[in-house]
Amino acid sequence: VPVVYLHEIKRQYTQGTETLTILNGAKLALWAGQSVALVAPSGAGKSTLLHIAGLLETPDDGEVYIGGAPTSQLSDIERTLIRRTDIGFVYQSHRLLPEFSALENVMLPQMIRGLKRAETVKRATEILAYLGLGDRIKHRPAELSGGEQQRVAIARAVANAPRVLFADEPTGNLDPHTADHVFGAMMQLVKATRVAMLIVTHNMELAGRMDRRVSLEEGQVVELD
């Protein structure tokens, strides 16, 4: 079964008297160990799709399956638990906590889950080292370069070993060289951990290096190439 399966997702927004249909029967399967690029123009509904697939938002119609299990009947608490254990998010800006070190930022999601401190230190240290930040763990975000900050954000997103990672333009703020480095780290992670990955990007070169490319047209997911 896919890690995430979106079935006939519908999402509308009302603006004044107008109804905007953003997603209209969107279907998408995300598989373990597969990277998928989502490439579509601004306003096409990419963020909406990510938020629905990541259980941050509920669709008006349709069903989100995580590991084959439907999620529409779950309580908010149950959805939050799935989000914490199975789902990771990376955004265009790193959204790290400025007062905390890289290590502490990566430890936080595990602490929230109730893991023992020693265990979270060990795991966070390992992930940061894996992403090439072994000598940066005591640094605060402001003491790190843009690429390093974004790699810490990725480390934090995968700290709980999620089954799926959603990234909304994770390299959008980075220069081409740094973007390439961060992107490479993400591709390595997919193969090493078998996480399913959906990355929104406008960078066609990076999209071309992923396993699969999709777009959004008239509220539906279409496969490219």
**Subset of residues 108 to 167 that bind ligand ADP, contact rule: CB under 6 A:** 136, 143-145, 147-148
Give the x/- contact pattern for ligand ADP in 64-103, rule: CB under 6 A.
Answer: ----------------------------------------
Overall residue count recorded for the chain in this entry: 225
Q: How far is CA 44 from CA 33, 50, 218, in A?
A: 26, 12, 8
Where do we find the tokens 């220069």?
Answer: 175
Binding of ligand ADP by 45 (CB under 6 A): yes
Q: Which of 43, 70, 176, 184 binds ligand ADP (CB under 6 A)?
A: 43
Q: How far is CA 85 from CA 165, 192, 205, in A?
A: 11, 18, 31
Q: Whose Cβ is closer to ligand ADP: residue 217's or residue 223's?
A: 217
Please state, in angstroms and rounded to a whole number, the distance separating the CA atoms of residues 60 and 54.
15
For residue 102 the two structure tokens come to 């890289």
Binding of ligand ADP by 176 (CB under 6 A): no
Q: Which of 16, 18, 19, 42 binds ligand ADP (CB under 6 A)?
A: 42
DSSP code for 216: E
- Residues within the interface to ligand ADP (CB under 6 A): 13, 15, 20, 22, 40, 42-48, 136, 143-145, 147-148, 178
